[in-house]
Amino acid sequence: MPMLFVSGCVNIVKVGIVGAESFPISPSVTTQVKSEFDVETRQFCDPELDCYHYYFLPNKARKQTLEMHHNASFTDTTYSTSLLVERQGLPTFTGSVVVIHGFRGSKDWSLMTAAYFQFLGFDTYVFDLLGHGELKTDKGFGVHDVRYIQRFIETNIDTTKPIIAVGNSMGGLVATSLTHEKIADGAILQAPMTQFDDSLEGYMKDKKPWYKAFLSDETIRSAANKALYDAGLNAQQTNTIDILKKSNSPFLIFASNVDSVSPYAAFSPLHSNNIEVVEIDKLEHAYMSMIGEFEHEKILAWLSANFDE
């Protein structure tokens, strides 16, 4: 009976992983952001996925000031930050940025990040992960997603200019793979997941949902691996750190010292000539996609070193 109970728990958690929907976001907020930053909703017809929508933000290299204010309460903690960037003195950047959200996010959650890179001078593209937002497909867990974004880039983006992938959490795995495979020229990773089963266990540790008391770490990891197996994948294919170790492309990684999903301690040993790892102090995983003054300074320095005209 205990074995049957454990097996049942694994299947229940697996079903929850596979069927997890994107977190909702206020339509009024999305509408306001779209209007303020001239966001275009476009459609691309993929030969394998059929037609889907993505967001395009044309560069705002002529706009003189960017002012952003974040005030979020995704957890028991409220986090606020602000950003003011003046055009005067900014380096000149051209090219494209591809923005990819994390597990249970959607392209709507990435609009503020996209608007930041739009202001810096990049044409910016924002996508849903497979099985998220409007993409009603099976989940790709950051692995299968790479191919569909690759097809988009090769069809729609000027590859003679720099292409930078920006990925948050699970989107960090996608951005890492795109860059390692030379589909993108560099990547900025915001709290990238380490490996799906490890990161899911870390998420449960940090989030502490009420049902966690009934689930062992082994059950959580088994459920994660079963979900991957059903998608034709294994945990090793979702290991962002292994891919980073094999790549010689430029990466900028933000990781928090209190984030069990994407712990700074897991990424700090990767710091090298091509990988810069920035420690964020005492910031929960849910807020790691936000760009404040500190993150802006690090991003600007990294872009200037690698992609300044």
pTM for the model:
0.94
Q: Is residue 40 domain-resident? A: yes
- Do the domain assignments include residue 12? no
pLDDT of amino acid 213? 63
In a domain, 138, yes or no: yes
What is the spatial distance between Cα 151 and Cα 54, in angstroms, rounded to a whole number? 14
- Burial group, residue 103, by CB count within 10 angstroms (0-12, 13-18, 19+): buried
* 249 Rama class: left (phi>0) / alpha (psi -120 to 50) / beta: beta
Block means of pLDDT (10 residues each) for the chain, length 309 residues? 54 90 90 94 96 97 91 78 92 96 96 96 98 96 98 97 98 98 98 97 79 77 96 98 98 97 98 97 94 97 91
What is the span of the domain harbouring residue 189?
A: 25-197+235-307
- pLDDT for the residue numbered 156: 97
**Residue 28 vs residues 32, 33, 35, 108: alpha-carbon distances, Å:** 6, 9, 11, 11
Domains held by the chain: number? 1
Cα end-to-end distance, the chain, whole Å: 66
pLDDT at 17: 92
CA–CA separation, 45 and 63 (whole Å)? 32
Residue 284: the pLDDT is 93
Report pLDDT for 6: 46
**Cα separation values, 291 from 80, 96, 125, 137, 300, Å:** 11, 18, 17, 30, 12
* Within a domain: 297: yes
Q: How far is CA 89 from the centre of its chain?
A: 29
The whole-angstrom separation of Cα 63 and Cα 219 is: 51
Return the residue matching tokens 């899911």: 200
- CATH number for the domain harbouring residue 287: 3.40.50.1820
Tell me the C-alpha to C-alpha distance, in Å, between residue 99 and each of 112, 241, 286. Answer: 10, 20, 17
What's the distance, CA 129 to chain centroid? 9
**Residue 189 contacts residue 259 (beta carbons within 8 Å):** no
User: Is residue 14 in a domain?
Assistant: no
CA–CA distance, 200 with 191 (Å, rounded to integer):
13
3-state secondary structure of 199: helix
The single-letter DSSP state of residue 81 is E
In a domain, 13, yes or no: no
Q: Is residue 8 part of a domain?
A: no
Q: State the residue for tokens 């454990």.
A: 6
pLDDT at 104: 94
Quote the pLDDT of residue 80.
Answer: 84
284 inside domain: yes
If one counts every other C-beta atom within 10 angstroms of the C-beta of residue 29, the result is 12
